[in-house]
């Protein structure tokens, strides 16, 4: 099975000495898997996601994503890699408030130099798929939290990323909107998208994920796919 993520002997320290915020950790995620990363506050979930996204580098170990050893890339190469291969969704959406919904969604495709017509067609397709087509020309400030998160998901998917990463994507949403985003993630996983989802919410993890891991103090304490320890 093709591995989309392969972490080998990964450790992350924010200060020299002391205990690492993460690891040492070995972790593989196969193509098409939907992995939920759970664990208490401060256990290293966002640290793990940031390493996989290439937003930060490990102190030790190898991080391979979509076949690329990303811990060895320069900042410039990393930025290009991220734009082309990774889609990210955050708790607070991170949309650009002075761009319309359509322009927000198209932005990552424009940054990778995709032809204008192709980009427009892809954005339209995603807005229809995610039920936000009627908001195409409004600004994020005019939308509900759930609608904004759909826009953020569409933006994350515009370049057909090998990997969709989501850090607490329902954390800022009311129950109904959270439910909608949950259904959306389930659909994306069914469609074959590889997803890594960080969440405190076990209901979300159980609904969306084909596999759940738990971190405590930077260590893997549970992996629903692992052989039981005897
Ligand atoms: N940029 C940073 N500089 C220094 N320490 C950091 C930094 N980012 C995280 N840490 C520390 O690393 C540990 C893991 O943090 P991380 O943000 O990965 O936890 P988390 O599991 O995502 O928590 P939460 O559920 O609260 O979001 C914590 O002890 C945190 O204080
Ligand atoms: Mg976090």
Q: State pLDDT tens for residues 119-177.
A: 999 999 999 999 999 999 999 999 999 999 999 999 999 999 999 999 999 999 999 99
User: Quick one: which atom of ligand 1 is closest to the CA of 48?
Assistant: 18
- Rounded Cα distance, 138 and 131, in Å: 14
Distance (angstroms) between ligand 1 centre and the Cα of 37 equals 14
Distance (angstroms) between ligand 2 centre and the Cα of 91 equals 10
Burial class (CB in 10 A: 0-12, 13-18, 19+), 158: buried
What domains does the chain contain, in order, with CATH numbers? 3-223 (3.40.50.300)
Q: What is the pTM of this model?
A: 0.94
pLDDT at 28 over 60: yes
SS3 content of the chain, % helix, strand, coil (to 5): 40, 25, 35
- DSSP E strands: which ranges in the chain? 3-12, 22-30, 34-38, 60-65, 68-69, 86-89, 163-167, 195-198, 211-216, 219-223
By C-alpha distance, which of 57, 52, 69 is closest to 164? 52
**Which CA distances in Å does 216 have to 30, 137, 202?**
23, 44, 15
pLDDT at 229 over 90: no
Distance (angstroms) between ligand 1 centre and the Cα of 45 equals 8
User: Which residue puts its alpha carbon closest to atom 2 of ligand 1?
Assistant: 14
Report the residue among 17, 38, 44 best suited for mutation to probe ligand 1: largest number of ligand atoms under 8 A from its CB: 44
Span of 3-7, 116-120, 127-131, 200-204 with lowest mean pLDDT: 200-204
User: What does the DSSP 8-state code read for residue 117?
Assistant: H
- The DSSP result for 171-210, as a single string, is TTS-HHHHHHHHHHHHHHHHTT--EEEE-S-HHHHHHH-S
User: Quick one: which atom of ligand 1 is closest to the CA of 43?
Assistant: 21
- Rounded Cα distance, 30 and 6, in Å: 9
- Rounded Cα distance, 123 and 103, in Å: 9
User: Quick one: which atom of ligand 1 is closest to the CA of 15?
Assistant: 4
By C-alpha distance, which of 202, 221, 215 is closest to 21? 215
Average pLDDT over residues 8-32: 95
Any ligand 1 atom below 6 A from CB of 46 = yes
Any ligand 1 atom below 6 A from CB of 38 = no
User: Which residue puts its alpha carbon closest to atom 7 of ligand 1?
Assistant: 14
Span of 27-36, 99-108, 168-177 with lowest mean pLDDT: 168-177
pLDDT digits (tens, 9 = 90+) for 183-197: 999 999 999 999 999
Any ligand 1 atom below 6 A from CB of 47 = yes
């Amino acid at each position: 099975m093709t591995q989309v993520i392969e972490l080998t002997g990964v450790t992350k320290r924010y200060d020299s000495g002391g205990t690492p915020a993460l690891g040492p950790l070995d972790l593989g995620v196969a193509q098409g898997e939907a992995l939920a990363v759970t664990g208490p506050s401060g256990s290293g979930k966002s640290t793990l996601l940031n390493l996989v996204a290439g937003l930060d580098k490990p102190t030790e170990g190898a991080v391979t994503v979509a076949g690329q050893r990303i811990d060895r890339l320069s900042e410039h190469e990393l930025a290009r890699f991220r734009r082309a291969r990774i889609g990210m969704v955050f708790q607070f959406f991170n949309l650009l408030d002075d761009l319309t919904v359509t322009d927000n969604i198209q932005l990552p495709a424009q940054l990778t130099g995709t032809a204008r017509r192709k980009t427009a067609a892809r954005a339209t397709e995603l807005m229809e798929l995610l039920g936000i087509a009627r908001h195409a020309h409004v600004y994020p400030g005019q939308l509900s939290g759930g609608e904004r998160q759909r826009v953020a998901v569409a933006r994350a998917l515009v370049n057909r990323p090998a990997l969709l990463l989501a850090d607490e994507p329902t954390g800022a949403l009311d129950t109904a909107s959270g439910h909608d985003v949950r259904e959306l993630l389930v659909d994306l996983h069914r469609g074959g998208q590889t997803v890594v989802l960080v969440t405190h919410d076990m209901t979300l993890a159980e609904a969306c994920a084909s596999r759940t891991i738990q971190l405590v103090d930077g260590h893997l304490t549970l992996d629903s796919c692992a052989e039981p320890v005897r």
